[in-house]
Amino acid sequence: MEITFMQYVWGFLLLLIPCYVLYLYHSTLLTKTVRATVRMMGLLLVLGFLLYEVMALNQWGITLLFALLMVTIGAILTVRRAKLPIRQLFVPVMAGTFTGVLVVGLYVLWLVVGVRNPLEVRFLIPVVGLLTGHLIQVNSQALHIYFMGLRHHSQLYHYLLGNGMKHSQALGYLFRRTIERATLLNISTMGRMLIGVSPIILWSMMLAGAGVFTALAFQLVLLIAMFSASIISVIVTVVVSRRYLLDDYHQLKGDKPHQQAE
pLDDT digits (tens, 9 = 90+) for 179-190: 888 888 888 877
Rounded Cα distance, 12 and 83, in Å: 35
| Residue 52: alpha-carbon gap to chain centroid | 23
**For residue 25, which phi and psi values (nearest 5 degrees)?**
-100, 15
| CA end-to-end span of the chain | 45
pLDDT digits (tens, 9 = 90+) for 137-178: 888 888 888 777 666 666 666 666 677 766 667 677 778 878
State the pLDDT at residue 153: 61
Please compute the mean of the pLDDT values over residues 15-27 and round it to a whole number. 92
Cβ neighbours for 161, distance < 8 A, ≥ 6 positions apart: 167, 170, 250, 251
CB-CB contact of 30 with 22 (8 Å): yes
Rounded Cα distance, 172 and 50, in Å: 43
Count the Cβ atoms, other than its own, within 10 Å of residue 256.
14
CB-CB contact of 149 with 143 (8 Å): no
Please name which of 91, 178, 92, 106 lies closest in space to residue 142, comparing C-alpha atoms.
178
pLDDT digits (tens, 9 = 90+) for 61-76: 999 999 999 999 999 9
Rounded Cα distance, 134 and 122, in Å: 19
Q: DSSP letter at 246?
A: B
pLDDT digits (tens, 9 = 90+) for 123-136: 999 999 999 999 99
- % of the chain surpassing 70 pLDDT: 82
Please compute the mean of the pLDDT values over residues 182-200 and round it to a whole number. 76
The DSSP bridge partners found for residue 23 are: none
Please compute the mean of the pLDDT values over residues 75-93 and round it to a whole number. 89
Q: Say yes or no to pLDDT of 18 above 50.
A: yes
Count the Cβ atoms, other than its own, within 10 Å of residue 170.
20
Q: Say yes or no to pLDDT of 194 above 90.
A: no
For the chain, give the number of residues.
Answer: 262
Rounded Cα distance, 63 and 127, in Å: 12
